[in-house]
Structure 1
Amino acid sequence: MYEEFAQVYDELMKEIDYTKWSDYIQRLFLNSKREIKNIMEFGCGTGNITCNLAQAGINMTAVDLSEAMLTVADEKADRMGLKNIQFYLGDMSNFQINQTFDAVISCCDSVNYLPDLAALQSFFLSSYECLENEGILLFDVNTVTKYKKTIMDNTYVYDLDDIFCVWENEPHFDENAMHFNLTFFEKNKNGTYNRHEETQIQYFYTIEDIHRCLVNIGFKNMKYYDFGTFMQGSNEGERIQVIAEKR
């Protein structure tokens, strides 16, 4: 996943305000009984939120399934002179580490890439096991409503300076899944283009699914916010921010 896409990801996603997103996460930390000094981040991608939080003085341990994404993230951290980040190649649904953290985070709908409830619950278990007592788990998910009413079967075209990308959405509602078919052309210095194709799949989870799995693992004091706010979230919104506490 993301092997070729990693090189153009930041350019295609430049409309995302990662600074604002990182600030929101830090405000969510106010829910924690612990001071947040050390964070495990699952699904770090190209490290935008990772680096923002590291700049705030937090020690970051960041995991991603894509080696290509991690390469971009590591180069970014080096350019910024950040020494308080460790990157690991791994699967968020079964990652183990001999270390505990004040918080575990997963951003930018990384959780939607988990293919079923068993993988979702396994991710919660991995998170629980590497949290300190009274540590918190934070993650966001795209809702079923977003897939059915906003994303649907739309096609998006990105025509940038050195990149041309066609992003086609293919709903599979019988599988609770959305396929993203990407075809992109990357311009070479001699004016020719390299063509790449990639398919990614995201899966739908309701608040009820998430809550049941969190309870099964032993998390307490769950909160479900409409993303970007501290207002109660619902399956009718587009993105839900989840917070859960280890006791």
Structure 2
Amino acid sequence: MYQEFAQVYDELMSEIDYKNWADYVSRIFLNGKREIKSVLEFGCGTGNITCNLAAKGFDMTAVDLSEGMLTIADEKADRMGIKNIQFYLGDMSNFQINQTFDAVISCCDSVNYLPSLEAVQSFLLCSYDCLESGGLLVFDMNTVSKYKKVIMDNTYVYDLDDIYCVWENEPHFENNEMHFNITFFDKNEDGTYNRHEETQVQYFYTIEDIHLCLKNIGFQNMKYYNFGTFLAGSNEGDRIQIVAEKK
């Protein structure tokens, strides 16, 4: 999954301030009941937030469904000399490990890739089982409003040094879905290009949907922030930061 796309992901997402994102997550940790030392991350991708949190001293266990993404993440951690990360290939909705953690996180709208509320609930249950008592679940989501008012049916073109990419958004609002049709060309040493095509799908969920799932599983003290702040978030914002606590 995402084998070819993994090779160009970091260049296409270079505008994202992952250090600041990791700082925000670590500030959220300070509001929990227990001290956060061990962190399980679902949907770690190429390890940008993983490495930033590990550099702060957190013991990271990072999981992703894409072997290609994990390979790049592991190489990145090695280049940075970071040793306190364990990487695993796995599905965030059914991952099992004989260990519990002070916090479980999922960043960069990974939860929006889960195709149904049943899959979301499976992810939340998996996270609950992996948490220590008093541990925090921290994840973010793109809102329905963002898909309908910002992402819409826009097309983006990235013309970088060694990569040319056309990214087309294809809404399927009747099914609460957004399809991303990605065509990209990466440059060979001889000046020729390789063409790749990939479609990714994200799914829309409301705060009310997520709150009911969290409540059904047994989480408590749920909070919904406008992303990047500690102000109350809503379905009308672009991204919601969700925090919940295991009893």
- In the superposition, the TM-score normalised over structure 2's length comes to 0.99
Amino acid paired to 2:63: V
Q: Could you tell me how far 1:170 is from its partner in structure 2?
A: 0.2
1:160 is aligned to 160
1:53 is aligned to 53
| CA deviation string 1:83-110 (max 9, x = no partner) | 1000000000010100000000000000
2:9 is aligned to 9
2:31 is aligned to 31
1:213 is aligned to 213
1:238 is aligned to 238
Q: Could you tell me how far 1:239 is from its partner in structure 2?
A: 0.1
Q: Could you tell me how far 1:60 is from its partner in structure 2?
A: 0.2
| Count, aligned residues | 247
Distance (Å, rounded) in 2 between the aligned partners of 1:10 and 1:186: 13
Distance (Å, rounded) in 2 between the aligned partners of 1:209 and 1:228: 22
Secondary structure of 2:132's aligned partner: strand
Amino acid paired to 2:176: N
| CA deviation string 1:145-195 (max 9, x = no partner) | 000000000000000000000000000011100000000000111000000
| CA deviation string 1:66-92 (max 9, x = no partner) | 000000000001111111000000000
Q: Could you tell me how far 1:234 is from its partner in structure 2?
A: 0.1
2:71 is aligned to 71
Distance (Å, rounded) in 2 between the aligned partners of 1:222 and 1:78: 36
- In the TM superposition, what are the counterparts of 1:173-188 in structure 2 within 5 Å? 173-188=173-188
- What's the RMSD between the two structures over aligned residues? 0.4
- In the TM superposition, what are the counterparts of 1:72-221 in structure 2 within 5 Å? 72-221=72-221
Q: Could you tell me how far 1:204 is from its partner in structure 2?
A: 0.2
Distance (Å, rounded) in 2 between the aligned partners of 1:135 and 1:80: 28
Q: Could you tell me how far 1:30 is from its partner in structure 2?
A: 1.5
Q: Could you tell me how far 1:235 is from its partner in structure 2?
A: 0.1
Distance (Å, rounded) in 1 between the aligned partners of 2:35 and 2:70: 27
| CA deviation string 1:126-153 (max 9, x = no partner) | 0000100000000000000000000000
1:41 is aligned to 41
Amino acid paired to 2:195: R
Distance (Å, rounded) in 2 between the aligned partners of 1:29 and 1:156: 35
| CA deviation string 1:2-42 (max 9, x = no partner) | 11000000000000000000000011111111111000000
Distance (Å, rounded) in 2 between the aligned partners of 1:229 and 1:223: 12
Distance (Å, rounded) in 2 between the aligned partners of 1:56 and 1:199: 35
Aligned-pair identity in percent equals: 79
Secondary structure of 1:27's aligned partner: helix
Distance (Å, rounded) in 1 between the aligned partners of 2:48 and 2:95: 21
Structure 2: give runs of 5+ residues left out of the alignment.
none
Amino acid paired to 1:30: L
Distance (Å, rounded) in 2 between the aligned partners of 1:3 and 1:219: 35
Q: Could you tell me how far 1:242 is from its partner in structure 2?
A: 0.1
Runs ≥4 in structure 1, deviation > 3 angstroms? none
Secondary structure of 1:102's aligned partner: strand
- In the superposition, the TM-score normalised over structure 1's length comes to 0.99
Secondary structure of 1:224's aligned partner: strand
Distance (Å, rounded) in 2 between the aligned partners of 1:33 and 1:244: 11
Secondary structure of 2:81's aligned partner: coil
Distance (Å, rounded) in 2 between the aligned partners of 1:25 and 1:227: 10
